């Protein structure tokens, strides 16, 4: 039991302090502010802060002052900077805002949880990951509607404090998202497969196409355009995201290579692509069934009751979402 655990959980309308005002953090600041919630942000770039301020939002380039304000307000602090920067920020959070509940919007959860434990050990933390984004970045790309009907994963471990979990999940709901409860490890394996792997297959596909000829790029239509879209994301952002989830990504990348080698063997030996095409079509249909049906709600769980976290995870594994 740490000292922090004894502190009261933030209320459902606690102020929110967003560190990092890029696509995700900036969009979050905007939607919370627009929803009438007290929200303010920090960004190291004066240009970004100036853009946010002139759009009517509270923002500062002064990290310490921002964290002291968060502490005074008992705000929820949201880490929304690239994963490569959090080890620099966490000691400041521990120093200036240790009483705040901390969450994040980073696409990998085990690595962030380990950093928090190591660098801000007294700080209460519940991880988060909104499944939203575009290949654009920066304040100019922010959109208060970015999270509308998106899936927002909230880390749900057996030891997660139920009041803290509710505070973060309510934040996600205020942003317009559905809450998907998961353990950090299960989350990291899932996003390796459906978010990080597609970056690598898109990159390889794009490189092969461009390596063929300009004629090929001239002929490229929908399948190339859509299939390589995420390769257009800023390389530094892609690298930070993918490399932070290296072990899970290695596993799904290896499986992908195995499937493509099997496809090559089938094509070379039998002139057929039956297995890979059928498997892919079945998988895509399963995805469309889940994405198209709209989210079925998690039911019959009171947050904090015995086994609540386990039950939330069990229902989430059936593709259900928490609606509060």
Q: Shortest CA distance to 141 belongs to which of 26, 237, 46, 28?
A: 26
Q: Shortest CA distance to 41 belongs to which of 105, 131, 91?
A: 105
Q: Shortest CA distance to 302 belongs to which of 150, 189, 163, 201?
A: 163
Least distance in Å: CB of 258 to a copy of itself?
A: 9
Least distance in Å: CB of 217 to a copy of itself?
A: 5
CB of 77 or CB of 298, closer to a copy of itself: 298
Q: Collapsing DSSP states into helix, strand and coil, what is residue 33?
A: helix
CB of 232 or CB of 324, closer to a copy of itself: 232
CA 103 to the chain's CA centroid: 11
Residue 232 near residue 254 (C-beta atoms within 8 A): no
Least distance in Å: CB of 26 to a copy of itself?
A: 18
Least distance in Å: CB of 122 to a copy of itself?
A: 29
CB of 161 or CB of 266, closer to a copy of itself: 266
Q: Radius of gyration of the chain from Cα atoms?
A: 21
Query: For residue 99, what are the contacts with CB-CB under 8 A and spacing of at least 6?
Result: 4, 7, 71, 74
CB of 67 or CB of 230, closer to a copy of itself: 230
Least distance in Å: CB of 23 to a copy of itself?
A: 12
Least distance in Å: CB of 25 to a copy of itself?
A: 17
Q: Collapsing DSSP states into helix, strand and coil, what is residue 10?
A: coil
d(CA 166, CA 303): 8
CB of 35 or CB of 236, closer to a copy of itself: 236
CB of 78 or CB of 154, closer to a copy of itself: 154
């Amino acid at each position: 039991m740490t000292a922090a655990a004894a502190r009261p959980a933030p209320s459902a309308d606690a102020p929110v302090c967003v560190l990092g005002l890029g696509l995700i953090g900036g969009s979050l600041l905007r939607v919370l502010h627009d929803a009438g919630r007290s929200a303010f942000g920090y960004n190291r770039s004066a240009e970004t802060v100036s853009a946010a301020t002139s759009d009517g939002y509270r923002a500062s380039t002064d990290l310490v002052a921002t964290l002291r304000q968060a502490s005074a307000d008992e705000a929820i602090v949201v880490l929304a900077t690239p994963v490569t920067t959090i080890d620099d920020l966490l000691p400041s959070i521990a120093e200036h805002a240790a009483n705040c509940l901390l969450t994040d919007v980073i696409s990998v959860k085990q690595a962030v949880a380990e950093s928090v434990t190591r660098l801000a050990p007294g700080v209460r933390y519940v991880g988060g990951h909104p499944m939203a984004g575009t290949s654009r970045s920066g304040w100019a790309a922010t959109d208060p509607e970015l999270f509308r009907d998106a899936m927002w994963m909230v880390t749900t471990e057996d030891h997660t404090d139920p009041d803290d979990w509710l505070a973060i999940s309510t934040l996600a709901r205020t942003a317009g998202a559905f809450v998907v409860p998961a353990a950090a490890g299960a989350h990291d394996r899932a996003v390796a497969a459906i978010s990080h792997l597609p970056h690598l297959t898109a990159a390889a596909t794009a490189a092969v196409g461009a390596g063929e000829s300009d004629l090929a790029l001239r002929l490229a239509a929908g399948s190339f355009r859509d299939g390589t879209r995420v390769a257009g994301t800023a390389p530094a952002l892609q690298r930070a995201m993918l490399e932070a989830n290296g072990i899970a990504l290695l596993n799904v990348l290896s499986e992908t290579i195995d499937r493509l080698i099997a496809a090559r063997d089938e094509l070379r030996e039998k002139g057929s692509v039956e297995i890979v095409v059928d498997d892919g079509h079945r998988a895509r249909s399963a995805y469309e069934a889940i994405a198209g049906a709209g989210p079925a709600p998690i039911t019959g769980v009171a947050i904090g009751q015995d086994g609540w976290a386990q039950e939330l995870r069990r229902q989430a594994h059936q593709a259900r979402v928490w609606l509060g």
